[in-house]
């Protein structure tokens, strides 16, 4: 998780970055930051909070320059302090470098140890800081060699944007876990986690950055090269971006997320119909498009039986269980007139710990549903993610070691069905191009040596 943006060669780079961050707010609500370069100095504002809270008009005007890099951050327990906010800024051989990173490295500890032995002093607990230190250590040379040297040492998931003085550098790891798109913005360019940020800034979508590709952008010119071994032809794009995380108005991984989710819902309807059901309703907002696909496939009425209070942040990305529970209760209000006496098919994207789903189901039951049939647009999540999505340890995942019936009993539904792995992959444009390790345990890149420490401290971005 985390959203990143880079702007090159635009007179109002900071303002464009600011607007783009709004489009990427769903990728992280913990902190936001923008750094710009004015031809001489780097300017930086970053803090904890939503984009709206962090930047005020006056401050934004102080971010002068034609180049900007920006970040909106997700964090887990223990890593949400201000010093961990991005972009990170370093001065290297009298050049200012700012970095914004999305994803999680899997060899952080190894690199950390090596760098510490070589004298590096770390300020934060972020794996992104490791990248900065590697940059500082890289031998002098041209930029292509410089970034090849640094990025080749990283393992795991990273979509990353660097601002090196007036040059913008974007890169995606060789497996392409996290998205990164390129757009044209007047004479310049924009890089962003998702294409919805391009729409909001009126940029023209050019293409996605390819797995293992690095782009150097300066003075309206773009140079591209691939890291050694790339393109390998083997992608491991995070399928959870398609299921839940990315915005439905984004085009990433060569597909449109709205349509992907509708296809997931339609396939689920074929695999898991509910005889005697009266209506299909989503758990807002994440289940909305899949429920539409399910309803259209079955011909059942599609009803919005719960209204979301949009003034409360997303629950999934709040760090503590207490906040998660509180926000579930406060944010969704069932419409009893729609639900009362009905056999309801509830469509949701996924179940992680199960407690959020259970709270929602209880609310629907209280509103008078005769029966509740929960349909999930992915298989049971039974393994943690080491590539940047905040799934907890196996023991905390409700589906781990349980039958579907046991999970249904925990969530208090009359029936529960998950979409099959084959069904989920079959509706993707290229099912072989995705990571599905949280369902299968088949990790495409070696997981961290010290798994439990990683899960305890949490993925940071």
Least distance in Å: CB of 74 to ligand SF4? 13
Q: Tell me, letter by letter, the H, E, C secondary structure of 263-301.
A: HHHHHHHHHCCCCCCCEEEECCCCCHHHHHHHHHHHCCC
| Interface region with ligand SF4, contact rule CB under 6 A, candidates 50-58, 299-307, 394-402, 434-442 | 434-442
Residue 291 token pair:
């429920």
Q: Which of 147, 158, 289, 387 binds ligand SF4 (CB under 6 A)?
A: 387
Nearer to ligand SF4, 88 or 245 (CB): 245
Note whether 240 binds ligand SF4 by CB under 6 A.
Answer: yes
Least distance in Å: CB of 104 to ligand SF4? 9
Q: Which of 344, 437, 455, 461 binds ligand SF4 (CB under 6 A)?
A: 437
The vertex-3 CA angle with 7 and 314, nearest 5°, equals 140
Least distance in Å: CB of 435 to ligand SF4? 3
Helix, strand, or coil (residue 34): strand
Note whether 98 binds ligand SF4 by CB under 6 A.
Answer: no
Least distance in Å: CB of 313 to ligand SF4? 21
Query: φ, ψ for residue 143 (rounded to 5)?
Result: -60, -35
| Interface region with ligand SF4, contact rule CB under 6 A, candidates 42-50, 139-147, 238-246, 446-454 | 238-246
| Interface region with ligand SF4, contact rule CB under 6 A, candidates 36-44, 274-282, 286-294, 385-393 | 385-393
Nearer to ligand SF4, 240 or 289 (CB): 240
Residue 193 contacts residue 4 (beta carbons within 8 Å):
yes
- Residue 409: HSE in the Cβ half-sphere, 13 Å Cα cutoff: 5
Helix, strand, or coil (residue 58): helix
- Candidates 177, 155, 156, 158; CA nearest to 169 is 158
Count of CB atoms situated within 10 Å of the CB of 247: 22
Separation of CA 338 from chain center: 33
Nearer to ligand SF4, 31 or 352 (CB): 352
Residues 284-343 that bind ligand SF4 (CB under 6 A): none
Nearer to ligand SF4, 242 or 359 (CB): 242
Q: Which of 436, 445, 459, 460 binds ligand SF4 (CB under 6 A)?
A: 436
Least distance in Å: CB of 155 to ligand SF4? 14
What is the Cα–Cα distance from 188 to 191, expressed in whole angstroms?
10
Cis before 231? omega within 30: yes
Least distance in Å: CB of 329 to ligand SF4? 27
Residue 239 token pair:
């399928």
Note whether 349 binds ligand SF4 by CB under 6 A.
Answer: no
| Interface region with ligand SF4, contact rule CB under 6 A, candidates 36-44, 246-254, 285-293, 381-389 | 381-389
The question of whether 2 is a catalytic residue gets the answer yes
Residue 274 contacts residue 296 (beta carbons within 8 Å):
no
Nearer to ligand SF4, 214 or 385 (CB): 385
Nearer to ligand SF4, 203 or 385 (CB): 385
- Give the chain's count of helices (H) and strands (E): 17, 23
Note whether 238 binds ligand SF4 by CB under 6 A.
Answer: yes
Residue 347 contacts residue 294 (beta carbons within 8 Å):
yes
The vertex-122 CA angle with 80 and 119, nearest 5°, equals 170
Q: Which of 151, 164, 239, 397 binds ligand SF4 (CB under 6 A)?
A: 239
- The alpha helices in 63-155, defined as continuous H runs, are 108-117, 127-137, 143-151
Nearer to ligand SF4, 43 or 178 (CB): 178
- Residue 280: HSE in the Cβ half-sphere, 13 Å Cα cutoff: 28
What is the Cα–Cα distance from 34 to 32, expressed in whole angstroms?
7
Nearer to ligand SF4, 163 or 427 (CB): 427
Task: Provide the mask over 167-206, with x wherever binding to ligand SF4 is found by CB under 6 A and - wherever it is not.
Answer: ----------x-----------------------------
Residues forming the site for ligand SF4 (CB under 6 A): 177, 238-240, 385, 387, 389, 435-438
**Which are the catalytic amino acids?**
2
């Amino acid at each position: 998780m985390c959203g990143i943006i880079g702007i090159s060669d635009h007179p109002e780079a900071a303002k464009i970055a600011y607007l783009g961050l709004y489009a990427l707010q769903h990728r992280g609500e913990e902190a936001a930051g923008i750094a710009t370069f004015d031809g001489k100095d780097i300017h930086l504002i970053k803090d904890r909070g939503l984009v709206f809270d962090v930047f005020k008009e006056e401050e934004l005007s102080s971010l002068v320059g034609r180049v900007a890099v920006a970040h909106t951050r997700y964090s887990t327990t223990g890593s949400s302090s201000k010093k961990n906010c991005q972009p990170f800024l370093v001065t290297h051989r009298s050049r200012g470098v700012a970095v914004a990173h999305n994803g999680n490295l899997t060899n952080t500890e190894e690199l950390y140890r090596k760098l510490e032995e070589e004298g590096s002093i770390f300020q934060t607990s972020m794996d992104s800081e490791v990248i900065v230190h590697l940059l500082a250590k890289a031998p002098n040379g041209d930029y292509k060699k410089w970034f090849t040297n640094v990025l080749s040492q990283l393992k795991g998931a990273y979509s990353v944007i660097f601002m090196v003085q007036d040059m913008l550098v974007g890169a995606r790891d060789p497996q392409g876990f996290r998205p990164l798109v390129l757009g044209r913005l007047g004479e310049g360019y924009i890089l962003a986690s998702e294409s919805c940020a391009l729409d909001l800034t009126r940029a023209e979508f050019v293409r996605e950055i390819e797995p293992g590709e690095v782009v150097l952008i300066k003075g309206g010119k773009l140079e591209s090269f691939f890291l050694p071994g790339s393109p390998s032809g083997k992608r491991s794009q995070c399928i959870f971006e398609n299921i839940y995380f990315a915005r439905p108005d984004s085009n990433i991984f060569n597909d449109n997320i709205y349509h992907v989710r509708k296809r997931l819902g339609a396939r689920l309807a074929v695999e898991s119909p509910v005889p005697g059901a009266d209506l299909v309703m989503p758990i807002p907002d994440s289940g909305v498009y899949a429920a539409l696909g399910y309803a259209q496939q079955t011909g059942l009425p599609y009803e919005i039986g719960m209204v979301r209070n949009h003034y409360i942040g997303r629950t999934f990305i709040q760090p503590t269980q207490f906040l998660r529970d509180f926000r579930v209760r406060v944010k969704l209000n069932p419409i009893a007139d729609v639900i009362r006496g009905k056999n309801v098919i509830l469509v949701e994207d996924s179940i992680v710990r199960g407690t959020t789903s259970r709270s929602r189901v209880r609310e629907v039951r209280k509103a008078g549903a005769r029966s509740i049939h929960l349909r999930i647009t992915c298989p049971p999540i039974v393994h943690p993610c080491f590539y940047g999505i905040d799934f907890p340890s196996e023991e905390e995942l409700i589906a781990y070691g349980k039958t579907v019936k046991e999970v249904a009993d925990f969530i208090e539904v009359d029936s529960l069905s998950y979409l099959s792995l084959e069904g989920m992959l079959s509706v993707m444009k290229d099912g072989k191009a995705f990571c599905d390790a949280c369902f299968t345990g088949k990790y495409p890149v070696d997981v961290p040596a010290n798994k439990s420490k990683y899960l305890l401290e949490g993925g940071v971005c």
